[in-house]
Structure 1
């Protein structure tokens, strides 16, 4: 089929590649515009989808909005059979949703209707969900409210990070979308309305959520740490050599049997144990500002920690 691909981050690239490998023609890629990068923000960095498409000789379009009549006409002029959308980042107006023969199909990283919205992977982990998944949805004007075409469940391990789950779902989503497009081409793709019950919204992660609160229980604290790893990274302040410094917490374990007081800490052979309102978290991987990420053993060897807050 003639496909318009719309995506931006690393998460989207495997789906683009899978569609090409299955013999579809990508007539154009839409992606977010290049953003300032580098220490001074003087360079413009293209998105992962932009870079991948350019290497493949595919036309890339980077509008800041799709709401104008000119954008709608340019989209329609591509004469595509379908648009595939994976983590694109712009709202699609009605003229775009109806601008191809079969409409727009989205790869979404949750078990809809749970975790509609911007941060489904992080929110599922932070909420302590035992399962998530990928779903292929025919898009409508609502926020992730369209009919479901295909879906698969994935177990969330108790110590899995958002980064690890991201990678798993990215590969699964590519395979699922390729299967969905093959079924669409055969005119055998069946759609099912989303359930009315169980709707949850995955709001964009706010920077204020990243600070770890050790007055919460150990499980909640652990889920926040792994749900925000590696980006943006949960953090706390540590007293290192008499100076309080911000430190990202990238991996942890739960120790429900620990009897530490809140924010009381002690290193052991597993890592840095920090007390919560009940139980404790064992920090096993961390990163100080301006330094590389390292194991707790490496970190504590070079930076004796005298307190945590």
Structure 2
């Protein structure tokens, strides 16, 4: 017998889970998402979230409260008389009134191997820390931040050059498949819960603009992990002097390189940049307002000869 589900999510990452639950035959009685936000260069138009748009295409009613402080919003949630709420990257901490507002509670799809990387940016932080593995977990939510007991886990290998964007795209498909399995087993009363370990708790703080600049004084592996973890968004960056003027350049791809020298110095025609130890090879770059280009294409239009000190933070 299908479940009556309230789905709560906002970004593109959440959409495959919504689609998987719909395809499994569950009744999605409502969808909650963050309100439409200003978009465009001038912010003159508002854009509905990817989940909002997907839900409308599926004929699911969408609600976009700023929070659940008002009793009216809490009462509306309860009035759906849902069996369960499914939460994937919704963007709000849910109060107890919502956590207990369905018959079976709220289940969250979280992209880490809990208790490692609780919080806002688990995929990026895992890559930036050099983790070789992450995973998708389905947990039953409680009042803490990603502290609830875990129902299902699927581990995912992080390849040495995998970017945050590539891992995001892999994990959102895993998440949809795993949540579909979890809800099927919940419906069959066959979804055991295991408390999280008390050791190994690490928080994945939201990425700040202040940490996006590349620091080539760090070891090459650290620099490489920083670049790929932030690619494609928000994007790690460096500053180079081009045509006599400093210009910010996003670096959207890298691998470990060859050579040595003063940190931030170009040490090969393949765009190997010396780091505090070792070197990192930049493989994909983007000027402000321009297209993302493979390094060889970028260098056809921008001269960065061997010996160039490209990083403002270096030296």
Aligned to 1:303: 302
Q: 1:213 to 1:308 in 2, by over 3 A?
A: same
Q: Distance in 1 between matches of 2:256 and 2:244?
A: 28
What is the DSSP-based 3-state SS (H/G/I as helix, E as strand, rest coil) of the residue aligned with 2:7?
Answer: strand
3-state SS, counterpart of residue 283 of structure 2: strand
**TM-score, normalization: structure 1?**
0.98
2:141 corresponding residue in structure 1: 139
- Tell me the distance in 1 between the aligned counterparts of 2:69 and 2:107: 19
Name 1:262's counterpart in structure 2: 263
CA contact (8 A) 2:259 2:268 kept: no
CA distance in 2, matches of 1:59, 1:307: 55
Q: What is the CA–CA distance in structure 1 between the aligned matches of 2:296 and 2:267, rounded to whole Å?
A: 12
Mapped to 2, the partners of 1:163 and 1:292 lie a distance apart of 17
Q: Is the 8 A contact 2:259 2:267 kept in 1?
A: no
Q: Deviations over 1:164-203 (max 9, x none)?
A: 0001110001000000000000001000000000000000
| Alpha-carbon distance in 1 for matches of 2:177, 2:17 | 7
Equivalent residues, number:
306
CA deviations 1:43-100 (Å, max 9, x no partner) are 0000000000011111000000012211111000000000000000011000000000
Q: Which runs of 5+ in 1 are unaligned?
A: none
TM-score (norm 2): 0.96
Structure 2 partner of 1:163: 165
Q: In 2, Cα distance between the equivalents of 1:71 and 1:188?
A: 32
Q: Hey, what does 1:179 align to over in structure 2? A: 181
The Cα RMSD (Å) is: 0.8
Offset, 1:263: 1.0
* Cα shift at 1:260: 2.2
Q: Aligned partners of 1:199 and 1:39: how far apart in 2? A: 39
Query: Which contiguous aligned blocks of 4+ residues in structure 1 show a shift greater than 6 angstroms?
Result: none
Structure 2: segments with no counterpart, 5+ residues: none
> Residue 204 of structure 2: which of 194, 202, 205 is its match?
202
Q: Distance in 2 between matches of 1:56 and 1:23?
A: 13
